[in-house]
Amino acid sequence: MLHPVRDISSYDSEMAEHLEVFPEIGRRVPGSDDPKVRELIYKGYRIIYQIKEDHLEVITVIHGSRLLKL
């Protein structure tokens, strides 16, 4: 069985560069009141992250079939 973080961490570096340049490319997380909390879907996983002043912080990585508990 693949570990989600290990699987996601090996994703395309081009995608990571796009996210670094365009951090708001991800959609706002439904149910979150914070507009800086975003998500991207990648290979069936939801990558939930928060836009900080000088970096992005990954909050969690979960399989897309699971419900997110806020």
pLDDT tens-place string over residues 5-61: 444 455 556 667 778 888 898 999 988 999 999 998 887 888 888 999 888 888 888
- Could you tell me if residue 44 is left (phi over 0), alpha (psi between -120 and 50 degrees) or otherwise beta? left
- Nearest one of 48, 47, 44, 46 to 36, comparing CA atoms: 48
Residue bearing the bigger pLDDT, 2 or 18:
18
According to the model, what pLDDT value does residue 10 have?
54
Dihedral angle computed from the Cα positions of residues 26, 60, 55 and 34, in that order, rounded to the nearest 10 degrees: 60
Q: Say if CB 18 and CB 6 are below 8 A apart.
A: no
